Structure 1
């Protein structure tokens, strides 16, 4: 699925990629059907020229479909990527080191059918969202793992003992000076 939109640096590898589920275009399809019903009803009841609205009926459905198929998400071992847009293209890249927090959300149907959204908080920037994807919890865990987003304390136990001992020595020195 990776094509020309994703420009990887040397040695960078794709760990996960997807696009939103196609059912995300359903509201646009419903809007197109509503326009068609109004056009037919208006053409029959009011004016035959209202049937001209039938020409506009596929527009909402087509636009919604294009929005879904032109949206791509990718996670590499170095960054997160999102590309979206039909006429104007918006491509966003976030380095894994700038990821501060991630959250996976699922509504009732998402929980039943295994889809949802991953929200990514970015240091110094606006939030990034991977909307309506399959298995959002797996994607969130993958981002956390790649970004080192674990709760592990940096350094070894011996290094922290050395820091503690140094702080105790500084405290003793300060207490002697105050007496």
Structure 2
């Protein structure tokens, strides 16, 4: 896990956007390819393809967390870049397998509002719990901070509640006399 000293030719950041964390799949994620590939090298020679493919996949995958969004770049021959903005994040979680527990790597999942399930998965990152905590804190900062005119979500909700109470009071006040007036209006031709 590094703290954003690298530059990425595939990443275009806004002027006020800064990298908070960057990483790629942990080297330990290659162990499965080694376990499968080495015996197959001896038997068929196919193991080189398995190990080489896993290596290229790891080397061509990058994750970047900025103060505004999370980015993921994948692709060996072609390039695919995904972005998830913090305003859209509904949930973050992490998972660690048996081998990952021993070597301290796992997956971090990011779910968005309106999406169906997980929008982005950061696979095989070192210290996934720390990465997930960092993301979760940043999401809470962004989503709980300011609305368009500087109001917090709590302020907006309080304002909505006040408006609803005023509407309820008006409806209740007009309700007693309002039903007679409505009946008269309905009877008139």
| TM-score, normalised via structure 1 length | 0.75
Find out whether 1:102 has 2:92 as its counterpart: yes
Count of residue pairs brought into register by the alignment: 163
Q: Which moved more, 1:156-165 or 1:78-87?
A: 156-165
**Shift of residue 74 of structure 1?**
0.8
Corresponding residue of 2:111: 121
1:24-82 CA distance string (max 9 Å, x none):
1222223321222214xxxxxxxxxxxxx4xx542211111111121111111111100
Report SS of the residue matched to 1:60.
Answer: helix
> Tell me, what secondary structure is at the counterpart of 2:124?
strand
Give the distance between the partners of 1:29 and 1:123, measured in 2 at CA: 38
Greater RCO (CA < 8 Å, at least 6 residues apart): 1
Q: Is 1:81 aligned to 2:86, yes or no?
A: no
- In 1, are the aligned partners of 2:28 and 2:103 still within 8 Å (CA)? no
Provide TM-score, normalisation by structure 2. Answer: 0.72
Instruction: Let me know the Cα RMSD of the aligned residues.
Output: 2.7
Which structure 1 residue ranges, 5 or more long, are not aligned? Answer: 40-52
Secondary structure of the residue that 1:147 maps to in structure 2? Answer: helix
Q: 1:170 to 1:107 in 2, by over 3 A?
A: farther
Residue 166 of structure 1 and its aligned partner are, at CA, apart by 1.2
Residue 11 (structure 2) aligns with: 6
Q: Which is further off, 71-80 or 164-173?
A: 164-173
Match of 2:147? none
Q: Match for 1:144 among 136, 148, 172?
A: 136
How do 1:1-179 and structure 2 match up within 5 A?
1-39=6-44, 53=45, 56-125=46-115, 127-148=119-140, 154-155=154-155, 159=159, 162-163=162-163, 165-176=165-176, 177-178=178-179
| Greater displacement, 86-95 / 168-177 | 168-177
CA contact (8 A) 2:108 2:128 kept: yes
Helix, strand or coil for the counterpart of 2:109? strand
